[in-house]
Amino acid sequence: MKNRSYKAEKVIELLGKKLNRQIVGSLAACVHCGMCTEMCHYVLTNPDDPTYAPAYKGDQLRKIFKRHYDWTGRVFPWWVKAKSVYTDEDLEALKDTVFGKCTNCRRCTINCPMGVDLASFNRMARGLLVSVGIMPEGVAVVSKDQWEIGNQMGVLKEDYLDTLEWMEEELQDELEDETVKIPVDKMNCDVVYSINPREVKYDPRTIADAAKIFHFAGENWTMPSEGWDMTNFGLFSGDDDLGGSVGRRLYEKVEELRGKKLVISECGHGYRSTRCEAPNWGKLDVPFEMESSVITMLRYIKEGKIKVDKTRNQEPVTFHDSCNNARSCGLFDEPRELLNLVVTDFREMYPNKAENYCCTGGGGAMSMTEYTPRRLKSAKIKADQLTATGAKIVVTSCHNCVDGLTDLIRHYKLDIKVAQLVNLTANALVIPEKISLPEEAAVKRIPEPSTDNVLAGKKILIADDEPDILTFFSTVLEDNGAEVITALNGKEAVELIRKEKPDLVTLDLNMPEMDGGKVFEILRKDPELADIPVCIITGRPELRRLIYDRPVKAPEGYLDKPVDEDTLIINIRKILEVKKHSSK
């Protein structure tokens, strides 16, 4: 009898505990007919590699199940290809399949004549591996952030509240109306609005757009100061405990605020987790209503609470269905109905609705950088789908899909922008007479980053050991009016910061001579430099602890590489604006 590693032993034991009737059915019922094969985007882009076939991927867990929990496999393992796991390397191989070759998109599930739900047990397999610490680095980092900081992007409470404040001020300026508010922790509201931390970090304009819509709809709404993150990495990591606890955090906050309804901003996995899965993971009965913001916006229009003018969105638009929304929550008709109300030229991609292809960034794939080449290769299917529509904008109701689509659009050099329904609805919003604005102002979006010298008069130091990054960041910042100083290593950065006293520092973590963590600590401990805002920009999220574990004030901003132009400017602007307001 072969020796088995502790982790392998544990995985087998936990598998037995996690089996339920649905999963056992799916594991036992596959007849290896191959009907699901070409339903998977990975197969379509890797036709010569059978290891991408859904049934093959499913068999990687199935063989363990058969070897330990199914009778034929226990008696005649070789006959049904039952096989146990013995070493940590065996588990690593399983990890490569369940995390790196499947986005849990469920497209094979709905195409399996037997009703085998591969996506569900693939998620379970992820959970088994996570429970013994075997997972991609990115999954570990994000899970840790969600457990410890309360949201999956490590956004600190101050950062979140600062962003809300900033967006509120921007809205007030845009609408020239000081009564426009983004209320926080208001009691007894009809709507409690929860968002994705990505909105705070990369896309604050979606918060402002939503606020604008709530304002003009006359909604009695609020955002919670805590438990505001409706995303849930438990869905991707397969960790039901994390999933349940994240859901509970959100539900408890709504109850504490005595909110009547939880509205979930546009995010596929967030909607699915919060609306559908977390009550099951956490065995919770949620006493209030929950709704996607897509349905809320559509309702406002139908009830006449807001008026929209679709001629403000005239570019050809197509719609990408998030797998979690469409295939797991039946949310596919409402976004189309809304789109048809706010744009003039909507073009359906094919296939669509619950049959649409994954954006390829699903299942947490965007956080698993080691699988990026595979992901982008498989994205060819989506790229072709988009191109065939001739659309200039692809709309999606999912932040994860926004990232996935943005990345593939860049990779395949498509001339298409990504937007969300909230952006188009806010843009089409007809501002009521009494505070009507000139047409130009009414359609102004927040913030329009790289149009003019938004950083004029600002001195920014960029510390990064990659010359390409230095050149890219310098060009972007200089184009926006900033004066830029560059440093190629940590030591040089400290010297230049002391000499130049910049308005802001962007800091890479992994640098020669002195790492970014050390530079950061030196800055924070020097009374003369401690107030200079710092934005950490790193390609190694696992090094984040180098910063947060230090006994000093957290950095003002944090970005994961790769960073695009808009994201860089939005975040730099936000940090500088917040600093300006806090020092007033």
User: Contact residues for ligand SF4 (CB under 6 A)?
Assistant: 30-36, 39-40, 42, 54-55, 57-58, 102-108, 112, 114, 116, 118-119, 358
- Measured CA to CA in angstroms, residue 531 lies from 75, 476, 502, 525 at distances of 69, 24, 11, 10
Q: Of ligand SF4, another protein, none, which one sits near residue 17, judging by CB under 5 to 8 A according to partner kind?
A: none
In contact, 151 and 229? CB cutoff 8 Å:
yes
DSSP string over 372-384: HHHHHHHTHHHHH
Residue 438 burial by Cβ neighbours in a 10 Å radius (0-12, 13-18, 19+):
exposed
| Contact call for residue 280 and another protein (CB under 8 A) | yes
- Per CB under 8 A, does 356 bind another protein? yes
Q: Choose from another protein, ligand SF4, none: what does 40 bind? Cβ within 5-8 Å by kind.
A: ligand SF4
Site for another protein in 297-326 (CB under 8 A): 326
Binding test (CB under 8 A) with another protein, winner from 2, 17, 21, 413: 21
* Least distance (Å) between residue 354 CB and ligand SF4: 13
Task: Give 60 or 232: the residue with its C-beta nearer to ligand SF4.
Answer: 60
Range 212-218 contact pairs with CB under 8 angstroms and sequence separation of 24 or more: 212/171, 212/175, 212/180, 212/426, 212/429, 213/297, 213/300, 213/306, 213/422, 213/425, 213/426, 213/429, 215/171, 215/180, 215/181, 216/305, 216/306, 216/429, 216/431, 216/432, 217/300, 217/305, 217/306, 218/305
Establish if 416 lies at the interface with another protein (CB under 8 A). no
User: What are the phi and psi torsion angles at 73 (to 5°)?
Assistant: -65, -30
Nearer of residues 22 and 436 to another protein, judged by Cβ: 22
From another protein, ligand SF4, none, which one binds at residue 352 (CB under 5 to 8 Å depending on kind)?
another protein
CB 71, min distance to another protein, A: 7
Please choose, out of 273-281, 393-401, 516-524, 550-558, the segment that lies near another protein by the rule CB under 8 A.
273-281
CB of 116 to ligand SF4, least distance (A): 4
Cβ 113 to another protein shortest distance, Å: 5
144: which residues sit within 8 A by CB, 6+ positions away?
A: none
Candidate segments 2-10, 177-185, 342-350, 474-482, binder of another protein by CB under 8 A: 342-350
- Give the binding range for another protein (CB under 8 A) out of 88-96, 112-120, 198-206, 222-230: 112-120
Alpha helices in 264-322 (DSSP H): 268-271, 278-281, 293-302
Note whether 338 and 293 are within 8 A (CB).
Answer: no
The binder of 560, among another protein, ligand SF4, none, by C-beta within 5 to 8 A per type, is none
Nearer to ligand SF4, 273 or 567 (CB): 273
Asked if 552 is part of the footprint of another protein (rule: CB under 8 A), the reply reads: no
125 vs 153 by CB, closer to ligand SF4:
125
Q: Smallest distance, Å, CB 408 to ligand SF4?
A: 15
19 binds another protein (CB under 8 A): yes
Cα separation, 68 vs 86, whole angstroms? 13
Number of H helices, E strands in the chain: 28, 13
87 DSSP assignment = S
